[in-house]
Amino acid sequence: MSSSCIILFFLLLTIISVQTAIVKTQENTWKTKYFEQRVDHNDYRVNSLGSFKQRYLINGNSYKGGNFPIFFYTGNEGDITLFAKNTGLIWEFAAHFNALIIFAEHRYYGESLPFGSHSFANNSMLAFFTAEQALQDYVTLIEYLKATVASTNSPVVAFGGSYGGMLSAWLRMKYPGTVVGAYAASAPIWQFTSLTPCETFNSIVTRTYRGTNSNCPLNIRNSWKAIRGIFERGQPAKLKSLFHLCDDIKDKDELNALIAAINNVWVSMAMADYPYPANFLGNLPAWPVNYTCNILSKSPANEDALLMLISEAVQVFTNYSKDVKCFNIANGGDPPALSTNGWDYQSCTQMVMPMCSDGKNDMFEVQNWDFDAMTQYCIKEFRAVPREFWAVQTFGGKEAVAKAASNIYFTNGHLDPWSGGGVLTQLSPSLHAFVISDGAHHVDLRASNPHDTTAIKQARSIAKSLITKWVS
C-alpha cells in the first residue's frame, strides 16, 4: 500500500467525524482565544525561535470555579473547530461535572501555524512538527489556564478521538502530573510496526461488511478485477460513466487513483457506520454499511451486473443526496479545514502506520506494506525520513503500557477498522477498555442522539463513572 493511501485512510478519521457537525452542535458555543506558545520547547536561547499563536476554544458556562475540573480536548489533525463541533459529549459531561471546556488546536493545523504561511515551506520550518512538541504545547497551555482562568487545584481530564485520542493517552502517560486521566476514543495507539499486523485494518473493514451479508464483501472483492478489466480492454469511457467521474481515466495511474478512491469509500463507510444519518460530502444514511450491503447482497449473473451494483453502492457515499454532479477522485473530498499535507508529513516522520491487504482475508486487492518505498516517498515529498519504531520507542510496547500507565479509558467501535490498533481489553485496574459492539469511529464522543445504541450509551456511562473517580 502506498504511503498516500495510508494518509488518505487516516485522514478519513477526521473527514467522517465532521459529518453531522451542523445538526448536532447548534447549541454548543465557545470563545476563540490564542496563547503565545514556544515554537520549540527545547529552545533555551535568548535569541530563540520565539513564539506563535496557538488557537484554543474555551467555554466556561458550566464551570463552577475553584477546584472543579478542566476538560481538555487534545486537538488532532485539523482545524480545532471541527473537533469541537463533533465532540458534543464534552458539553454534556461539562454540565454534569461543572467543568471548564477547552479545545486546543494542534500545531501546524488550522490557525496554529508556527511560521504562518511559511510553516510548510521546507523541512526546517517543519522541524517542530512532532507529537512531543504538541504534547508540550498542551502541558504549557494547561499550566497557564490553571494559573489564570481556572485553579491550580483543578484536575484536568484529557479528551480526544482518533489521533486526538492517541494524544490524550500519551499526555497521561508522559505527563501524569498534568492530567489526572484520559478519555481516549478510537485511539489506535498500537497501529504501529511490531504491535499490530498490517493486514488487521483491512480485515476489519471486510468484517464490518461481512456482518451484514456474505455476498457484500464478495462482490466488492470481485469488483477490482472487473474495474481493471474495463480499462485493460480499452473502455475508459465506460468507467467514467459507471462511476459518474468528473474526469476521464487517461492512464494506469489514474486507474489506480480510481481504485484507491473506491477503496476509501468502503473504508469511510465502515468508519462512519453510525446509527443515524450523517452529512458530509453529501449525505450518508443511517447505518451506511447496512444500506450499501443491501444493494450488494445479490449474486450478479455477470461482470456487467456486478459493476452496476458496485456503481450503485459507491454512490451511497458519493451521491446519496442525488445532487452531486460528478465524483472527483482527485481531491478525495477533503474539507478545506483539514490539512492533508499536515498529516502526510506526520506519517512521513512519526506516525508510520503499516497497512496492507491480502485479497483473501479481506475484500481488497493485494497490497504489500513497503516501508522502503514509503521512505523514498517521504524523502522526495518532505526531505524527511520516517522512523518505523518511533511509537514503540517513545511510548513503550503493549506490556509497558499495561504495567506502567494508569487512568486511561480506551473506547473502540467494533465496526471501526481503527479498532484493530486500539486497546480492546482492560490492561490493569486503572487502564480501562470498552468495545462498542455496534459502534464506529469515536461515535461515543459525539453528542447524544435518540438513535444511540445501548452500547454507545454504556461507553459514555462508564466514562462518566471513571471521570468521577479521577477528579475526586
Grid coordinates in use for 77? 489533525
Maximum distance among all alpha carbons in the chain? 74
The Cα–Cα gap between 96 and 335 comes to: 33
**Residue 176 or 335 with smaller CB distance to its own copies:** 176
Of the listed 162, 223, 339, 347, which one is catalytic?
162
The Cα–Cα gap between 161 and 72 comes to: 12
**Residue 128 or 209 with smaller CB distance to its own copies:** 128
With cell 469541537, the residue in question is 84
441 is catalytic: yes
162 is catalytic: yes
Residues near 75 by beta carbon (within 8 Å), at least 6 away in sequence = 83, 103, 104, 105, 106, 109, 110, 160, 164, 167
**Residue 128 or 280 with smaller CB distance to its own copies:** 128
Beta bridge partners of 434: 411
Q: Give the nearest distance from C-beta 385 to its own copies in angstroms.
A: 6
**Residue 138 or 243 with smaller CB distance to its own copies:** 138
Beta bridge partners of 311: none
End-to-end C-alpha distance for the chain, whole angstroms: 47
Q: Give the nearest distance from C-beta 52 to its own copies in angstroms.
A: 17
Q: One-letter amino acid identity for 462?
A: I
**Residue 379 or 424 with smaller CB distance to its own copies:** 379
Q: Give the nearest distance from C-beta 134 to its own copies in angstroms.
A: 12
The Cα–Cα gap between 153 and 147 comes to: 9
Q: Give the nearest distance from C-beta 102 to its own copies in angstroms.
A: 17
**Residue 127 or 226 with smaller CB distance to its own copies:** 127
**Cβ distance 56 to 104 under 8 Å?**
yes
**Residue 182 or 205 with smaller CB distance to its own copies:** 182
**Residue 237 or 400 with smaller CB distance to its own copies:** 400
The Cα–Cα gap between 426 and 404 comes to: 14
Q: Which three-class secondary structure state does DSSP give residue 97?
A: helix
Nearest one of 145, 154, 120 to 37, comparing CA atoms:
145
Of the listed 186, 441, 442, 444, which one is catalytic?
441
Residue 63: CA count within 13 A, CB half-sphere:
22
Grid coordinates in use for 247? 474526469
Phi first, then psi: what are they for 58, rounded to 5°? Answer: -135, 140
Of the listed 344, 416, 444, 452, which one is catalytic?
416
The Cα–Cα gap between 178 and 155 comes to: 8
**Cβ distance 54 to 34 under 8 Å?**
yes
The Cα–Cα gap between 78 and 454 comes to: 30
Instruction: List residues binding its own copies (CB under 8 A).
Output: 42-48, 123-124, 127-128, 130, 132-133, 139-140, 143, 174-178, 348-350, 379, 383-387, 389, 392-393, 395-397, 399-401, 403-407
Q: Give the nearest distance from C-beta 76 to its own copies in angstroms.
A: 19
Grid coordinates in use for 306? 456486478
Q: Give the nearest distance from C-beta 344 to its own copies in angstroms.
A: 13
Residues near 372 by beta carbon (within 8 Å), at least 6 away in sequence = none
Phi first, then psi: what are they for 432, rounded to 5°? Answer: -100, 150
Q: Give the nearest distance from C-beta 406 to its own copies in angstroms.
A: 6
Q: Give the nearest distance from C-beta 143 to its own copies in angstroms.
A: 6
**Positions marked catalytic:** 162, 416, 441
